[in-house]
């Protein structure tokens, strides 16, 4: 998370295995309950629903806007980053990624999906958050990882990601 003027830029990678932010990695599973569950680890409360995050992994869907799961994961990612900074109210600009093969076709729809509520309030682990989403930037996945280093790169470059590399 980076602060720019009065806005926090929060990068979120909505992977099927894990949701990643600058400072966190969490299994991307979403389980929605109509009543408060007895076990409340990683509990998001939004729109009258109780959403448990991270208990498993999200199943594959080619379009990440077909259900509310990625929106819930976004709120969770925002809460995680703000929580680490000790902030509960913020103006936020989201930087999100899509797989390169779907980027051109889905970027506008994904941006609209992320902006479905410009002002959003939710509770994460019993703490209330009030967020104004100022905008969304959608990038091909991997781009955000090298954006600040592009000026130092020349020629042909490849991005390699390995969760098992040390």
Structural tokens at position 102: 């779907």
The better pLDDT of the pair 16, 47 is held by 47
Give pLDDT, residue 165.
Answer: 38
Residues 141, 50, 136, CA angle at the centre, nearest 5°?
A: 30
Q: Which two tokens stand for residue 54?
A: 């991270």
Tell which wins on pLDDT, 25 or 63: 25
Residue 6 confidence (pLDDT) above 70: yes
Contacts 24+ apart (CB under 8 A), 44-52: 44/72, 44/75, 44/76, 44/79, 44/122, 44/123, 44/124, 45/122, 45/123, 45/124, 46/72, 46/75, 46/120, 46/122, 46/123, 51/76
Q: What is the mean pLDDT of residues 35-64?
A: 88
Q: Superfamily for 2-152?
A: ATPase, nucleotide binding domain (3.30.420.40)
As a whole-number percent, the residues of the chain with pLDDT over 90 amount to 63
Q: Answer for the pair 129, 122: CB distance below 8 angstroms, yes or no.
A: yes
As given in the structure block, the two tokens for residue 121 are 């309030």
pTM: 0.84
- What Rg do the C-alpha atoms of the chain give, in angstroms? 16
pLDDT of residue 56: 80
pLDDT, tens digit, for every residue of 98-123? 877 778 888 999 999 999 999 999 99
Give the pLDDT score at 40. Answer: 76
């Amino acid at each position: 998370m980076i602060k720019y003027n009065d806005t926090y830029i929060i990068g979120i990678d909505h992977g099927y295995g894990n949701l990643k932010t600058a400072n966190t990695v969490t299994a991307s599973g979403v389980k929605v309950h109509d009543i408060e569950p007895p076990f409340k680890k990683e509990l998001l409360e939004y729109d009258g629903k109780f959403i448990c995050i991270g208990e498993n992994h999200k199943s594959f869907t080619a379009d990440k806007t077909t259900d509310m799961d990625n929106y819930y994961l976004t709120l969770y990612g925002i809460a995680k980053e703000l929580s680490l900074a000790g902030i509960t109210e913020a103006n936020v600009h989201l930087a999100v990624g899509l797989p390169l093969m779907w980027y051109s076709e889905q970027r506008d729809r994904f941006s609209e999906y992320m902006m479905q509520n410009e002002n959003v309030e939710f509770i994460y682990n019993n703490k209330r958050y009030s967020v104004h989403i100022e905008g969304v930037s959608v990038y091909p996945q991997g781009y955000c990882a090298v954006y600040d280093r592009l000026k130092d790169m020349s020629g042909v470059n490849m991005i390699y990601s390995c969760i098992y590399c040390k």
